[in-house]
Amino acid sequence: MLFYTWQEIIGIVIAAIIVDLTVGDPKWPTHPVIWMGRLIKWLEHKLMPEQHTLTPRALLLRGFILTGLTLLLVTSLMYGVWFIADTIHLWLGYIVSVWFISTTIAIKGLKDAAYLVMHPLQEGNLADARKYTGYIVGRDTEELPESELSRAVVETVAENTVDAVFSPIIYALIGGAPLAMLYRASNTLDSMVGYRNAKYIYFGRASARWDDVMNWIPARLTGLLLALTALIIPKQSAKRSLLAIFKFASKHPSPNSGIPESAVAGALGIELGGLNIYGGFPQERARMGWPLRELNLSDIQSAVRMMYGATFLTIGGLCILWALL
């Protein structure tokens, strides 16, 4: 655990969460995820040129190499930076760890992206709401009404409560900044090449599967934490949240994303999933939750509150654990 005691690593993670909650994604220096993206694009260009006649097996192998090289380079570089900083001074090692872990978390960034859609909806400005929704989802947004825009944002907040919040926190607790950065590299690989389309169905398979593995335990812990959060937020149901996870999560095409989405849908008494349009082609996604009422823009704020509630419960639990050690 990077030669830190449990108390030290817990303190570092708490500090990193607080930094993200207050500062958010850094504008300077360049966010590490941007550098990861540049590395992945460069490796992709080397391993899979635009003009290629590679067989599916060769693409699978090269995709495996892309995943392995990216994870190795990112983790090694992060470990080297931390080691040099810690060698210079213990507190410099702490600061480097806190800052880099905070860049793997995106609580404030996710909230800001959600509210960037909610505020135009509150003003009746569908054009801006559609534009900003298109920044955070892959589906076509040009014709979506308010209810579908709200659904898209709620699904994004719910799903990314795993990817952008609890997965990096869990891996930071296990292995500090290097393991948190390894997780962020895994997630970035999946977001860039982990698609089931003609270009990436073979080349991106290793990245997509590895991301599924990395999120498997965090997704299930997040589902339980979201249900627990529903106990303390008025007009939400923890029981219905848990029941929704067991009934609907397995219907989602992702082995992990259905868990937080079902948890949020159940807690709020709404239905997520349904018909999405991708590049003009309709796709029916599994429906999760019970439509006890119509989904509306207020559910965006409710989903954000659940994410923040789960985060504060985590901070509280970590503080108690820190005090006991």
Contacts 24+ apart (CB under 8 A), 231-235: 232/309, 232/313, 233/267, 233/302, 233/305, 233/306, 233/309
Nearest to 166 by CA among 33, 309, 28, 267: 309
What angle (nearest 5°) sits at the alpha carbon of residue 278, between those of residues 149 and 213? 90
pLDDT of 51 > 80? The answer is no
pLDDT, tens only, 277-289: 988 889 998 999 9
| 157-167 pLDDT tens trace | 999 999 999 99
Q: What are the sequence ranges of the domains in the chain?
A: 6-324
pLDDT, position 30: 79
pLDDT for res 1: 52
Retrieve residue 227's tokens: 């249900």
Cα of first residue to Cα of last residue in the chain, in angstroms, is: 16
CA distance 236 to 19: 29
Question: Tens digits of per-residue pLDDT, 241-277?
Answer: 999 999 999 999 999 999 999 999 999 999 999 999 9
pTM of the model: 0.95
Q: What's residue 279's pLDDT?
A: 86
Please say if the pLDDT value at position 53 is more than 90: no
Give the pLDDT confidence score for residue 299 in this predicted structure: 97
Question: Is 80 exceeded by the pLDDT of residue 201?
Answer: yes
Tokens matching residue 167: 């997965």
Q: Which residue has the higher pLDDT, 217 or 278?
A: 217
Mean pLDDT of the chain: 95
